[in-house]
Amino acid sequence: MCRIVGKERAIYDDDDMMIVNTKKLKGHKRRIMCIIKRHDRIPTEWELRHMISRLFDIGLDVFKYAMAFAILDNKYAAYKTHFHLVASDFDGDDFWQIMKTPILAIFSTKLREKYAY
């Protein structure tokens, strides 16, 4: 994770976290990951809310090709030094892995268009 901070092109970056494309697509068109910058496996409540909020905002644009996307818990995380969440559509090769992973939220990408003011 430390190698990502400062080296990967960020989709979003602030003092506390960053959002990048994942290296492994697992058959998806896009997958994104939100990482806290400090070394810790447990986010504060504020960090968790901030991460979910940013993944929602950015995910609506990133996953506009899909019907919906999910923000997944890091239960099966490969990186152990920084807390992170992955957002993914449901159209990849890892559908059953997604179904086994605790899902924090599912968002419809179509609601934004239907209910835009």
Per-residue pLDDT tens digits for 58-91: 999 999 999 889 998 887 666 667 788 989 988 8
Question: Contact at 8 Å (CB) between 90 and 47?
Answer: no
Query: Could you tell me if residue 1 is inside a domain?
Result: no
Residue type, 61: D
Confidence of residue 114 (pLDDT cuts 50, 70, 90): very low
Tell me, yes or no, whether 62 lies in a domain: yes
Range of the domain at 22: 12-114
Q: Give the CATH number of the domain where residue 26 resides.
A: 3.30.428
User: Which of 42, 23, 22, 47 has its CA nearest to residue 33?
Assistant: 22
Q: CA-to-CA distance for 89 and 107, rounded, in angstroms?
A: 10
Within-domain flag for 6: no
Residue 28 lies in a domain: yes
Q: What pLDDT score does 115 carry?
A: 42
Model confidence pLDDT, tens digit, residues 13-44: 999 999 998 887 776 788 899 999 888 888 99
Name the domain count of the chain.
1
β-strand partners of 106: 70
C-alpha–C-alpha distance, residues 117 and 61, integer Å? 17
Query: 4 in a domain, yes or no?
Result: no
